[in-house]
Structure 1
Amino acid sequence: MSLELKRGGLIVSCQAQADNPLHGPIFMGAMALAARDGGAVGIRANGPEDVRACRVAGLPTIGISKIKSDGFPVYITPNRAAAQDLAKAGADIIALDCTPRPRNGDDPESIVRFIRDELGLEVFADISTLDEGLAAEQMGATYVSTTLSGYTSYTEPKPEGPDLKLIEALASRISTPIVAEGRFNTPQLARNALDAGAHAVVVGTMITSPREITRAFARSLAK
C-alpha cells in the first residue's frame, strides 16, 4: 500500500465524539469501508482503537490522538507518546497540532522529528495561518493542512465557509503538499480547494456525521 496521499483525492475523516451514537471502532471501521467504496484515497481517524479499525479499508490512515488538558488549547497529538501509540496501532501518517499555542506536552518540532526519524512515518501538520504553514514546512512536515483555520484564538471568529485564501497563500509560498480541511461541506467547495492549490481535501462532518447532517436539514426547514 502506498503511503502517499494521491493528488486531487478525497480523505474522509472518520470520527465521532463520545456523545455521538456512532462513537466507537466498530462504527468507524464501517465508515472507513463506506468511504473507500465511495472513492476516498485516505482516512483520518482519532485514537489507536479507531485507527486499527479503519485500517480494514486498506487506505493510507492518518492517525491523530485527541488528548485534552485543562488550560491548554492544543489537544491534537500533543506529545511523542501519543504519536508512538498511533504508530503501534498502524497509522501510516500521524497528524499533530503545529500551532505555537501553549500545550501540555512536547513542542511540535520535536514531535515532527520523532515521527519522521524514530517512527519512520510521514507527518501531517495541522495549522491555522500562513506563518504556521511556513514553520511546519521548515520542521519537515510531509503535508501541511488548514485544519485549524478558524479554530484558534487568532483566526476567530470562525468563518462560515472554508479558508480558500489560506490555501492560495500557502500554495504561493511552500512546496510541501497542502491539504485542505475545515468546513468543506459541498463537492463544489472541495473542487474549489484543488483549484486554489490544495493537493487533497479532507471532509468529515458532511460525510460521516448523520446527526449533524440531519440538524442542518432540520434548521433549514424550521426557518
Structure 2
Amino acid sequence: MMLRELDIPKILPSQLALLYKDFTDEEIRRAMFSLNGAKTPGLDSFSAEFFKKHWNTVGQIVTLAAKRFLKTGFLLKEWNHSILCLVNRLKHAMPDLISNTQHVFLTGRQMTDNILLSHEAYEFPPHWIHMIHQCISTVSYSVLLNGDMSQQFKPTRELRQEDPLSSYLFLFCMNILSRMLDIGYALKMFEGIKLPRRGPSISHLFFEDDALLFFRATKSCCQTVTNILHRFCKVSG
C-alpha cells in the first residue's frame, strides 16, 4: 500500500499562501511569549522568562535571528526557539489534513526522513520541509552535573516528546496509519464494530500515547490488521 494510494488530503492554496507569507515581528513575539517561562534554559543559561521580561531590550535581536532562519531555512544549532513560529502556522492547516480518528493535540478535539516523506505527500512547500528537517537534525544536548557541562551529544530520536513541533509531526505520521486502516476497512479486508448496533462502524481511535483498534476476533481479520501494521512500520521507519 503506497502513499499515493491513501488519498491523502493536499494542503489548500489558501493555506499554502499563509505558509509562504513572510513572518511578522508580532508572530515571532507571540511565539516567544507562548513558551513556558520556567522551561529548562539553553546553553546561555537564559530561560524563556528572561527573554519575555527583557523583550524591549533583546526582542529585536531575537526577531532578526528568527527571521534569518525562516528566510534562509538554516538554523543555528545553539538556538532553536524559532520552531514555534512553524507550529503556529501549521495549526491552521491541521484540521483539514488530519483524520477525525486522532483525538489528541488538535484544537477542538479531546485529547526524520520518513517524517519528511509524509510532508511531501501532503505537498508542503520544499522550503518548509527543509526548515522542519533543520529543526530535527540540529537537536543536541549537554548534561549539567555538579556545575560541570558535558560534551554535546545528539539524541537517537532527535525530537523529544515535549518539543512543540513533535506533536504535529506525530499527527502527520499517524494519519498515514489511519488512512491505511480506513482503506483496509473500506475494501472489507477486516470488519470493525458498531457502538451502538445502528451506529457507524469504528475500526480505530488514536490518542496521545495509545491506539485502539476495533475488529472482529477472527484469524483473517487479525492477519489483515497485522499486515497493515507491518507495512506502516516499514513506511514510518
Band the TM-score falls in, shorter-chain normalisation: under 0.3
With normalisation by structure 2, the TM-score equals: 0.24
With normalisation by structure 1, the TM-score equals: 0.25
Q: Which has the higher strand share?
A: 1
Q: Which has the larger radius of gyration?
A: 2
* Relative contact order higher in (CA < 8 Å, ≥ 6 apart): 2
